[in-house]
Amino acid sequence: MITLAQKLISEACGSSRVTTGEIVVCKVDLAMIHDSGGPRRVKPILERLGRDVWQKDRVAVVTDHYVPVESNETEAIQKLTRQWVHEQDIKHFYDQQGICHVVVPERGHIKPGMFCVGGDSHSPTGGAFGAYMFGIGATEMAGVLVTGEIWIKVPQTILISWQRQLPAYVTAKDMMLATCREIGMGGGRYQAIQFAGEAVHDLSMQERMTLSNMAAELGAQAGLIAPDEVTAEFIRATGAVLPANWKEYAIETAGEGDEALYYDASLLAPQIAAPHSPENADNAEAFRNTAFNLAYIGACTGAKYVDLAAAASVLKGRKIASGITLKVAPASLKDQNRAEAEGIMQILEDAGAEFLANSCGICAGYGADRLAENDVCLSSTARNFKGRMGAASSQVYLASPYTVAASAVAGTMIDPREVAEG
């Protein structure tokens, strides 16, 4: 029986069928790069080769790391990015519109059946749309930009099926932190992970993007979700044309030699992961009364529209506790504008939040707001590696926006249900 990963790869390489372990060359439908690992890395390589981009409308460039400009160096990087986009006549350029993993899907560039690459480790986000998408380095990206092709070893699939329904105030972030705890950071072993089951299909598209995004934390190459009507509705809403055959990719199966893991979503509690790894997760209750000084709602896994709305639902009519700083960096300008129109941003502001740019920001250790020495941060980001978000002496705990917001109100880490339902 063919898996979703095998179907996507076989179509990309022009074969009727591929087998696990086979090495094939695939045609790329979309290459996504950003200002940090993009033009400043690939431009010199293309110049040495004397080559231009193979197809101008199959490349998307996003400025999201060196935003906002804070130095002569970052200004030079942004200038180089814009110049390269102009010189190469790149058709899809999103300048300071938000984080690439959110901006590119919200503009309708990723659809079921596509084979895509991204110049960032969280590129598996695109798999939420029934596409095969994974991250590559600058050298491989230069090869893709010249040839429009890349080789791949057909992976095994790990099917992770979440049965039944999630309880209130339990999210995709909690699902992923629990999975990191269960199978470890190397659990995917550079395989394709496919998320399935009732609880997954009950999620909004942006929540599904969090699942696929954090497949990278498991060591997987791709994080896939079979498309359904939720996928179709999201893509139509972007104004993009949905492929006529999109239902052909509604495959949820593990093949021979694959693994299948089953979890009961109804038993899952809100999670918190302790420093310095997402796999250091446990029920939020286990961290009761743990002190922290900074609450951060940001990044591609923690500050999309649904995340801002979740935080606001807890913070409405409440104030953050004394001694806590709450910083919010909406993942995209589009999501921020929607949240502003619906009063969500005002709720966050009234609660005491400070707003940062639509960028990777603190999550990737960029900008002026990096963590200071001995800061303890409760964050909605995907990673909490030592020194990633600032000073090596800082500590980062991971949680959902519900948990971050509730803990900011309580003044210590807490299960969000104690605040939201209290």
- Tell me what pLDDT residue 420 has: 83
pLDDT band at 373 (very low <50, low <70, confident <90, very high): very high
Query: In this structure, are residues 235 and 129 in contact, taking their beta carbons and an 8 Å threshold?
Result: yes
Output the CA torsion 268→273→278→279 (10° steps). -70
Q: Which of 1, 38, 34 is nearest to 20 (CA)?
A: 1
**261 is written with which tokens?**
């893991």
Query: In this structure, are residues 132 and 110 in contact, taking their beta carbons and an 8 Å threshold?
Result: no
pLDDT beyond 90 at 256: no
3-59: pLDDT as tens digits: 999 999 999 999 999 999 999 999 999 999 999 999 999 999 999 999 999 999 999
Query: In this structure, are residues 314 and 420 in contact, taking their beta carbons and an 8 Å threshold?
Result: yes
Task: Give the containing element (helix H, strand E) for 85.
Answer: helix 72-88
Distances (CA, A) of 170 to 177, 217, 344, 374, 406: 11, 19, 20, 29, 13
pLDDT beyond 90 at 258: no
> What phi, psi does 203 have (nearest 5°)?
-75, 150
Report the C-alpha gap between 29 and 400 in whole angstroms. 33
In the chain, how long is the greatest CA-to-CA distance? Answer: 64
Report the C-alpha gap between 250 and 130 in whole angstroms. 8
pLDDT band at 185 (very low <50, low <70, confident <90, very high): confident
300-356: pLDDT as tens digits: 999 999 999 999 999 999 999 999 999 999 999 999 999 999 999 999 999 999 999
**What is the DSSP track for 333-389?**
HHHHHHHHHTTHHHHHHHHT-EE--SSSGGGGT-STTPBPTT-EEEE-SS---TTTT
pLDDT beyond 80 at 187: no
Percent of the chain whose pLDDT exceeds 90: 95
pLDDT band at 189 (very low <50, low <70, confident <90, very high): confident
- Tell me what pLDDT residue 366 has: 87
**209 is written with which tokens?**
């993007």
User: How confident is the prediction for the chain on average, in pLDDT?
Assistant: 96
Rounded to an integer, what is the distance from CA 30 to the centroid of its chain?
17
C-alpha dihedral sign at 306, 308, 312, 315: positive
Q: Which of 419, 404, 312 is nearest to 362 (CA)?
A: 404
Report the C-alpha gap between 369 and 25 in whole angstroms. 42
Mean of pLDDT values over 367-371 = 89
pLDDT band at 376 (very low <50, low <70, confident <90, very high): very high
Q: 317: phi > 0 → left, psi -120 to 50 → alpha, else beta; which?
A: left
Q: 344: phi > 0 → left, psi -120 to 50 → alpha, else beta; which?
A: alpha
Supply the pTM of this predicted model. 0.97
- Tell me what pLDDT residue 375 has: 96
- Tell me what pLDDT residue 367 has: 83
106-162: pLDDT as tens digits: 999 999 999 999 999 999 999 999 999 999 999 999 999 999 999 999 999 999 999
Task: For the beta carbon of residue 206, count every other beta carbon within 10 angstroms.
Answer: 22
Mean of pLDDT values over 171-192 = 91
Give the three-state DSSP class for 20: coil
Q: What is the Cα gyration radius of the chain?
A: 21
74-98: pLDDT as tens digits: 999 999 999 999 999 999 999 999 9
Domains of the chain: 4-265 (3.30.499.10), 270-420 (3.30.499.10)
